Amino acid sequence: MSLPVAILAGGLSTRLGPLTKAIPKALIDVAGKPFIARQLDYLRRQGISRVVLCLGHLGEQVREFVGDGAAFGLEVSYSWDGRLLMGTGGALKRALPLLGKHFFVLYGDSYLLVDLGTVERGFVESGKPALMTVLRNDDQWDKSNVLFRDGSIIEYNKRKPGAEMKHIDYGLGVLSASLLENMPADSPFDLADIYHDLSAQGLLAGLEVSGRFYEIGSLIGLAETREYFRRKEKKA
């Protein structure tokens, strides 16, 4: 697969309380392995070769564990928030020199049951500068924030989700670097605002997926993700 993957893993993880006081969320144990190891293993199996980790809070611990990525069969490089947390958009802006013209964006707390090749093809075929994967959610796992109709994203709005929204941002997208090149280099901003503006202009492609997502950003999500891997590895 040709596109690299940017993993956004620089946040403070406040919802996990004392679990992330001494270690970053990426290194939380999930059924016997640090979560980042499960993400990287998954990406390698999908044919990914290059990963850029966008790090901030306690990020040095992640670099010590992952290194150059060779142990995972990947080439891993690093981009850093610095003293100021840059937000998801600001972190990607800093990482642009490592990413090239187009790249996947994956949240650092997400484990997604999706075929990346299908996502990449969807992006290329759309002709649009960005693509968001969406899941029919009906507020089941979190507040639905996407109005998706007839294969198209009509509106994405994380800040003010509407009652008619039945889908949710699945946690994986594809972005063109050109969308971020003119954003301020040293001011934090949120990727969600970029997505919202693109959706309002009809420039955000949507790809509906069917498999549920797993996440470790909340205590409930962490427990569910641990159970998923326990069941999966018991069957193996």
Instruction: Name the amino acid, one letter, at 108.
Output: G
Domain ranges of the chain: 5-235
Angle made by CA atoms 153, 156, 157, in degrees to the nearest 5: 165
Place of tokens 């093809």: 121
- Could you tell me what percent of the chain has a pLDDT over 70? 98
Fold (CATH) for 5-235: Spore Coat Polysaccharide Biosynthesis Protein SpsA; Chain A (3.90.550)
At residue 155 the predicted structure's pLDDT band, cuts being 50, 70 and 90, is very high
Which tens digit of pLDDT belongs to each residue from 75-105?
A: 999 999 877 778 888 999 999 999 999 999 9
Query: What's the number of CA atoms in the CB half-sphere (13 Å) around residue 166?
Result: 6
Which tens digit of pLDDT belongs to each residue from 206-221?
A: 999 988 889 998 999 9
Average pLDDT (138-151) is 84
Instruction: Give pLDDT, residue 172.
Output: 94
Place of tokens 């193996």: 236
At residue 109 the predicted structure's pLDDT band, cuts being 50, 70 and 90, is very high
Q: Is the separation of the CB atoms in 10 and 81 below 8 Å? A: yes
Would you give the DSSP letter of residue 212? Answer: P
pTM: 0.93
Place of tokens 């928030």: 81
Instruction: Give pLDDT, residue 52.
Output: 98
